[in-house]
Amino acid sequence: MSKSTVSRVINGGYASAEVRMRVGKVIQKLGYTPWTTARNFSLGRAGCVGLVMETTQGQWMTQILGGIEAELTSKHLSLLVGSLVLRDRYDSATVSSWIRDRRVDGIIFVSPKQRERQLVESARRGGLALVLIEPDDEFTGLEVFRSDNVGAGRAIAEHLFQLGHRRIAFVGGPQESVDTRQRLEGLSEGLASFKVKLPENQVVFARYHVEAGVEYAKRWLRTGRSRAPTAVVLGNDIMAVGFMRTLQSAGIEIPKDVSVVGFDDTPAASMYWPGLTTVRQEMREMGEAACRFLLTSVEGKASTGRTHEFPMSLVPRESTGPASNA
């Protein structure tokens, strides 16, 4: 058996089932494992990819990371993780050094915003393979993986309307956030189909953070019960939990007094009581798919510029119920 045949089998090239079986037996007998470092060196590659996000903290990010790691492990590749906010300070120096020194073959940016545009463009000029997951700004000419936020908003609208809710509020993340705009768009369109209007001035906060939910709960408590929303849709699960905890500490019953909906379906959604009605993002699957595309792009076999939308599914739990008569 020639060296070229063995190399082709090891590197995933074409070979008949019989040849693959023979090579596999020899590899098993010899205890051989491919020396990926030597292969990457011969191809002029670093043998690892970079993952860039604001912070690794949070259940949403953990699930995406799990999908990426699963994909890389199967390919015997390494991952460099770069958080842009450490100790409450924004610092992109580490990621900039990856790009400058070609320490990675490609980068996955998670939720990049306007302030990450310079990093993204620098990586693009450097010829690195790039993928964006849930960008919170508009980036053209790059592969984007995101959830169907508009469809999720419509599903929530139908769910709340069927429960009799007509006074509904939306509490989102930053005004410039693509996710916030799309989720509001879907909710507004869905309610409009039932001849229900959202209040004109929706509430937005600087961050998708628990404190935002706490702050809106205080506003809700200051509003007369005859005017307060009977259902509140919050930008993510952690905001929703902050909202519910604050109301419950003030004696408000959920969903008797107000129904609550979140986004993402992180583990916290099902562990809190009452269980949080939310919409599930396929976060792990999105991480896997984005990583697969990136590796294909590293090999020079992928075009860029498309948007891949993943469906979101409504997960009804105990935090939503029939509208109160308040």
Per-domain boundaries in the chain: 3-34, 45-147+282-312, 149-280
Cα first-last separation, the chain:
81
- Sign for the CA dihedral angle at 245, 246, 247, 249 comes to positive
- Phi, psi of 57, rounded to the nearest 5 degrees: -75, 140
pLDDT at 232: 97
Q: Is the pLDDT of residue 310 over 90?
A: yes
In this predicted structure, the answer to whether residue 40 has a pLDDT above a threshold of 80 is no
Give domain 45-147+282-312's CATH architecture: 3-Layer(aba) Sandwich (3.40)
Mean pLDDT over 282-291 rounds to 93
For residues 44-71, average pLDDT:
82
pLDDT at 109: 95
Per-residue confidence (pLDDT) for residue 74, from 0 to 100: 76
Q: Determine the distance from the C-alpha atom of residue 204 to the mean position of all C-alpha atoms in its chain, rounded to a whole number.
A: 19
Q: Mean of the per-residue pLDDT values for the chain? A: 86
**Count of helices and strands (H, E) across the chain:** 12, 14
- Whether 281 has a pLDDT exceeding 80, the answer reads yes
- Is pLDDT above 50 for 37? no
Check pLDDT > 90 for residue 11: no
45-147+282-312 and 149-280 share one fold:
yes
**pLDDT for position 16:** 66
pLDDT (mean) for 222-231: 91
Burial (CB count within 10 angstroms: exposed 0-12, middle 13-18, buried 19+), residue 62: middle
Q: Indicate the length of the chain as a whole number.
A: 326
Mean pLDDT across the stretch 288-292? 93
Please give the average per-residue pLDDT across 106-125, as a whole number: 92
User: Is pLDDT of 292 > 70?
Assistant: yes
Average pLDDT over residues 17-27: 65
- The residue with tokens 């509001």 is 184
Q: State pLDDT tens for residues 139-196.
A: 888 999 999 999 999 999 999 999 999 999 999 988 888 999 999 999 999 999 999 9
Supply the pLDDT for residue 56: 79
- CB contact at 8 A, 277 and 320: yes
Nearby residues of 266 by Cβ (< 8 Å), 6 or more positions away = 58, 59, 60, 63, 236, 237, 238
Neighbours of 99 (CB within 10 A): 20
Global confidence as pTM: 0.80
Query: How many Å is the maximal CA-CA distance in the chain?
Result: 83
What mean pLDDT do residues 251-265 have? Answer: 96
Class of domain 149-280: alpha beta
> Whole-angstrom Cα distance, residue 104 to residue 82?
12
Token pair of 65 as six digits? 């990371």
Question: pLDDT band at residue 285, thresholds of 50, 70 and 90?
Answer: very high
pLDDT-based confidence at 35, cuts 50/70/90? very low
Euclidean distance between CA atoms 53 and 133, whole angstroms? 10
Predicted pLDDT at 176: 84
172, 176, 182, 188 alpha-carbon torsion, rounded to 10°: 60
Percent share of the chain, pLDDT over 90: 55
**How many CB atoms sit inside 10 A of residue 167's CB?**
18
59 band by pLDDT with thresholds 50, 70 and 90: confident
Q: What is the pLDDT of residue 225?
A: 83
Give yes or no for residue 323 having a pLDDT over 50: yes
Which position has the higher pLDDT, 207 or 253? 253
Kindly tell me the sign of the dihedral angle through the C-alpha atoms of 68, 71, 74, 79: negative
